[in-house]
């Protein structure tokens, strides 16, 4: 793995992002933000799953007014997601929000941008610039005519993802150029509590955009693949994109965008981080895929163990293997494991047999070992 | 993305692996191979999901004898997975198998290895050398004393995954050295229908081993992360590892090892390939993760659409968005999509509005558009 890029750290509430900080896991609520009870309930679930920072959409003043009431009842920093209206940003800051996600270019009026940036600066609140493939300004239109036109037919003139041709102005160029312009707007106001994301659905487009930008600015990067899909397909797509960048040392915080519950986004985020050994959270399951050699239903056993392990908050590797003879050696990396044979199972630690138990007791024996660690 | 490494192609039955061939998706049966009906049933399910090649464990003569009966009833090439016994390899070849997965070093006796290799050569059957972190020979023990000792305490002296220190003999070195030795055994018998895998549970270990080997041999590489986990966690771990290598142009065929049904392995395999635009199979869903701005239950809608799309074998991108105004533009990459607002939805193609339908008809309208493409 490549050594991590060291970015200029910022703080979102008490959570450090960038520098030598561990990679933070974020999610976003899917409730109506103005519905404080429902929003707080959803945030409590992601807190339990290990979410470091939560973001809420602030589409109107009712949502902005809910921010202080939400924040008072949760334990992790809260970010307000603002699209176009500077007064919603100002109200969110007033309400004690810990960070903003906001593209200054979308606010258009320089005077209004300045008001928001000054308010953020006064309270030491960082701003994430969130460039998205789907809402880029028209090519040649960055910063022109008071900002951005969202006229569809102009947006449609953009090169499609994956169309990048060497030497031509590609969608990756345009994403990076847009981000740099947005950064310039904040820097010109002497503001540097900046974090940047560059999301697309297309993985190579996203990867190349982050790679490029990572060499051009000192700020922390928030990684994500946008509109990635359902829990199943979206997790895989996000794992490919985020995993690649993290492996290359790029990325300070992540959000896995899934068409699913926020808790699923957090769980998937940790699985990605665990895969590249960047952050441990709870148990890790090493599970034999099973084959024609297995004497027991390893798939069922693995899934049962997986479910039981969800409740255990220990950094341990647990193996479920389907071969009594080869299992302990094959999973010698595991802190504890079970190798199930016909009618009995070997319990092992770091590849060494601890004891043999009858099949009926194997599950409880394994969990007892895990508990005892 | 890096240009694909061009390997020396081989054929597994009618499926070309390596060279300029598209990346093949493999899986393995989890039934008792001797149970022909159950095994054939499982293979039919993976065929439907687009599996290119299937592998069955051959742990005993009963399984080997089942090979011709299985092969006669399936439509994709069949690979026999052999551990130690050369007579099982010979019987599988006699039974018409299309490929072997077998480490010649495990057979130990050079005379027996020669018999198998000669039989494979006569019928043009390739052999995959499958080096696994969990069953490496002891350090310093490659090729010594008639082959490999599987004595546990010696295996335990191996460096643990992730322990690689620059300048020291690491587990990656040992995996690569073991593969090269196995390759040497086959090459010394003038056999070159070779494919190689180097699997570990640890993603960085696996990635570095493949990276290294890819520069040392001309043969096609079969990618996999071993004992990756359940469908959920294992898919993510595999996506990170396989996605990284594929992005770097490495890999000719893949298997996602999951503690789940073989069909799930194939579906996950295609999701990984789709993420790096290396191979399309069926539809691709672009799904808005939903947020406090959504007026409808986008998560439920996305999952329903996802389920309906499983049955459609067309290479199309379909979007489900939760914002009537921004949705079509944000998902302009999609061939067709739906942007759901309060009580109604916009149907769009390539970012252009086609028509507006009431909420009650949005699902059927979207599917009608997909069907009409």
pLDDT in tens, B191-231: 999 999 999 999 999 999 999 999 999 999 999 999 999 99
> Chain A: residue nearest B30 by CA?
A291
Is residue A5, in this structure, part of any structural domain at all? no
DSSP A71: H
Q: What are B13-55's pLDDT values in tens digits? A: 999 999 999 999 999 999 999 999 999 999 999 999 999 999 9
pLDDT (mean) for A286-299: 93
- Residue B22: CA atoms inside 13 Å, Cβ hemisphere, count? 13
| Contacting residues of A for B63, CB less than 8 Å apart | 292
Size of interface A-B (CB pairs under 8 A): 287
Which of these, B269, B287, B272, lies nearest to B333 by C-alpha position?
Answer: B287
Average pLDDT, chain A: 91
Interface test mutation site (partner A, options B289, B304, B315, max chain A beta carbons within 10 A)? B289
Q: Is residue B352 part of a domain?
A: yes
Mean pLDDT on A178-192: 93
- Whether residues B136 and B26 share a domain: the answer is yes
Q: What is residue A218's three-state secondary structure?
A: coil
Please name the member of A34, A227, A241 whose beta carbon is closest to the beta carbon of B289.
Answer: A227
A188 and A264 housed in the same domain: yes
Kindly state whether residues A131 and A208 are assigned to the same domain: yes
Note whether residue B5 is domain-resident.
no
Q: How far apart are CA A74 and CA A89, in angstroms?
A: 20
| Cα separation, A116 vs A113, whole angstroms | 5
**Each residue's pLDDT tens digit, A308-361:** 999 898 999 999 999 887 888 888 889 999 999 989 999 999 999 999 999 999
Question: Quick one: tokens of B43?
Answer: 């293979």
Give the pLDDT score at A143.
62
Nearest residue, CB atoms, B160 vs list A31, A260, A333: A333
Rg (CA), chain B: 24
Residues B295 and B215 in one domain: no
Strands across the sheet containing A253-255: A194-199, A127-132, A99-101, A78-81, A53-57, A24-28, A253-255, A222-223
Is A162–B277 a contact, with Cβ atoms under 8 angstroms apart?
A: yes
CB contact under 8 A, A81 and B291: yes
Question: Average pLDDT of A208-229?
Answer: 96
In a domain, B4, yes or no: no
The CATH number covering residue A297 comes to 3.30.413.10
Identify the pLDDT of residue A168: 72
Please give the pLDDT value at position B124.
97
Is B1 inside any structural domain? no
Determine the Cα–Cα distance for residues A330 and B199; give it in Å rounded to an integer. Answer: 11
Amino acid B138: pLDDT: 79
Cα B206 from chain centroid? 14
Is the pLDDT higher at A281 or at B274? Answer: B274
Question: Each residue of A81-99: b (16+ CB within 10 Å) or e?
Answer: bbbebbebbbbbbebebbb
Decide if pLDDT at B73 tops 90.
yes
Nearest residue, CB atoms, B230 vs list A226, A285, A291: A285
Q: Which residue of A has its CA nearest to B297?
A: A30
In a domain, A30, yes or no: yes
Cβ neighbours of residue B250 closer than 8 Å, sequence gap 6 or more: B5, B210, B211, B214, B221, B223
Residues A326 and A249 in one domain: no
**Same domain for A128 and A100:** yes
In A, which residues are within 8 Å of B33 by CB distance? Answer: 292
Task: Look at the alpha carbons of B26, B32, B34, B36 in this order and tell me if their dihedral is positive or negative.
Answer: negative
Which domain-ending residue is among A258, A275, A292? A275
pLDDT of residue B206: 97
Establish how many alpha carbons lie within 13 A of residue A351's alpha carbon, considering only the half-sphere containing its beta carbon. 19
Last residue of one domain, picked from the residues A275, A302, A320? A275
Measured between alpha carbons, how far is A247 from B170 in angstroms, rounded to an integer?
A: 19
Query: What's chain B's average pLDDT?
Result: 91
pLDDT attached to residue B366: 95
Angle value at C-alpha A146, between A143 and A147, nearest 5 degrees: 45
Assess whether pLDDT exceeds 80 at residue A362.
Answer: yes
**pLDDT at residue A144, rounded to an integer:** 55
Cβ–Cβ below 8 Å for B302 and A230: yes
Question: Residues B60-86: what's their mean pLDDT?
Answer: 97
A190/chain B closest Cα distance in angstroms:
31
Q: What is the pLDDT of residue A167?
A: 62
CA–CA min distance A46, chain B (Å):
15
Q: What is the DSSP letter of A22?
A: P
User: Which CA distances in Å does A288 have to A254, A321, B54, B186?
Assistant: 29, 5, 18, 28
From A275, A301, A334, give the residue that closes a domain: A275
Alpha-carbon gap, residue A298 to B229, rounded angstroms: 11
Of A313, A231, A241, the residue nearest A275 (C-alpha): A241
Task: Write the DSSP symbol of residue A20.
Answer: T
CATH number for the domain harbouring residue A150: 3.20.20.20
Q: What angle do CA A43, B329, B359 make, to 5 degrees?
A: 70
**Span B122-158, pLDDT tens digits:** 999 999 999 999 888 877 767 654 443 333 333 344 4
Question: Look-up: residue for tokens 């084959």?
Answer: A291
A17, A195 Cβ separation under 8 angstroms: yes
Tens of pLDDT, residue by residue over A7-24, are 999 999 999 999 999 999
Mutate to test the interface with B, among A131, A239, A317 (most CBs of B within 10 A): A239
| The pLDDT of residue B143 | 62
pLDDT bin (cut points 50, 70, 90) of residue B170 is: confident
Please tell me the distance from the alpha carbon of residue A340 to that of residue A363, in angstroms, as a whole number.
Answer: 10
Q: According to the model, what pLDDT value does residue B338 have?
A: 95
Q: Are residues B96 and B123 in the same domain?
A: yes
Are the beta carbons of B176 and B182 closer than 8 angstroms?
A: no
In a domain, A92, yes or no: yes
Kindly state whether residues A210 and A334 are assigned to the same domain: no
* Residue numbers of the domain that contains A221: 10-275
Same domain, A240 and A288: no
The top-scoring range by mean pLDDT among A153-167, B212-226, B327-341 is: B212-226
Give Cα B228 distance to the centre of its chain.
Answer: 12
Q: Which residue has the tokens 């009842």?
A: A73
The distance of B190 to chain A (nearest Cα, Å) reads 31
The tally of domains found in chain A comes to 2
Q: What is the 3-state secondary structure (H, E, C) of chain B?
A: CCCCCCCCCEEECCEEECCCCCCEEEEECCCCCCCHHHHHHHHHHHHHCCCCEEEEECCCHHHHHHHHHHHHCCCCCEEEECCCCHHHHHHHHHCCCCEEECCHHHHCCHHHHHHHHHHHHHCCCCEEEEEEHHHCCCCCCCCCCCCCCCCHHHHCCCCCCCCCCCCCCCHHHHHHHHHHHHHHHHHCCCCCCEEEEEECCCHHHHHHHHHHHHCCCCCCEEECCCCECEHHHHHHHHHHHHHHHHHCCCCCEEECCCECCHHHHHHHHHHHHHHCCCCCCCCEEEECCCCCCCCCCHHHHHHHHHHHHCCCCCCCEEEEECCCCCHHHHCCCCCEEEEECCCEEEEEECCEEEEEEEHHHHHHHHHHHHHHC
A266 and A165 together in one domain: yes
Cβ contact B332–A240 (<8 Å)? no
CA-nearest residue to A164 within chain B is B1
Residue recorded with tokens 């939400």: A70
Q: What percent of chain A clears pLDDT 90, i.e. is strictly above it?
A: 81
Q: Is A18 contained in some domain?
A: yes
Nearest to A135 among B204, B287, B330 (CB): B330
Residue B59 C-alpha, separation from nearest chain A C-alpha, in angstroms: 6
B340 and B246 in a common domain: no
* In a shared domain, residues B243 and B208: yes
Determine the distance in angstroms separating the CA of A146 from the nearest CA of chain B, rounded to an integer. Answer: 20
pLDDT value at residue B166: 54
Cα A69 from Cα B281, distance rounded (Å): 47
């Amino acid at each position: 793995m490549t050594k991590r890029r060291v970015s200029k750290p910022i703080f979102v509430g008490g959570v450090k992002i960038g520098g030598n900080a561990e990679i933070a896991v974020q999610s976003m609520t899917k409730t109506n933000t103005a519905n404080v009870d429902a929003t707080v309930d959803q945030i409590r679930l992601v807190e339990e799953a290990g979410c470091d920072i939560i973001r809420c959409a602030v589409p109107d003043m009712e949502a902005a007014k809910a921010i202080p009431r939400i924040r008072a009842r949760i334990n992790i920093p809260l970010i307000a997601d603002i699209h176009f209206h500077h007064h919603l940003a100002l109200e969110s800051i007033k309400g004690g929000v810990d960070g903003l996600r906001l593209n200054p270019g979308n606010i258009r009026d320089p005077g209004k941008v300045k008001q928001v940036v000054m308010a953020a600066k006064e309270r030491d609140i960082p701003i994430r610039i969130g460039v998205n493939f789907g809402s880029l300004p028209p090519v040649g239109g960055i910063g022109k005519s008071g900002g951005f036109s969202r006229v569809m037919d102009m947006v449609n003139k953009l090169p499609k993802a994956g169309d990048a041709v060497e030497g031509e102005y590609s969608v990756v160029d345009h994403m990076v150029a847009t981000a740099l312009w947005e950064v310039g707007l904040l820097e010109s106001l002497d503001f540097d509590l900046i974090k940047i994301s560059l999301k697309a659905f297309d993985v190579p487009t996203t990867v190349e955009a982050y790679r490029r930008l990572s060499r051009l600015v000192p700020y922390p990067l928030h990684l994500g693949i946008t509109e990635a899909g359902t829990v199943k397909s979206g997790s895989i797509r996000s794992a490919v994109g985020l995993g690649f960048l993290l492996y290359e040392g790029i990325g300070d915080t992540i959000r896995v965008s899934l068409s699913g519950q926020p808790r699923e986004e957090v769980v998937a985020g940790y699985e990605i981080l665990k895969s590249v050994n960047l952050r441990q959270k709870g148990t890790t399951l090493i599970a034999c895929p099973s084959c024609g050699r297995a004497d027991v239903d390893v798939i069922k056993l693995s899934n049962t163990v997986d479910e039981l392990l969800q409740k255990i908050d220990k950094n341990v590797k647990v193996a479920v293997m389907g071969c009594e003879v080869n299992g302990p050696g094959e999973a010698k990396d595991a802190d504890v494991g079970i190798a199930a044979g016909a009618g009995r199972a070997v319990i092992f630690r770091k590849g060494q047999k601890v004891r043999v138990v009858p099949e009926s007791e194997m599950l409880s024996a394994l969990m007892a070992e895990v508990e005892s660690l």
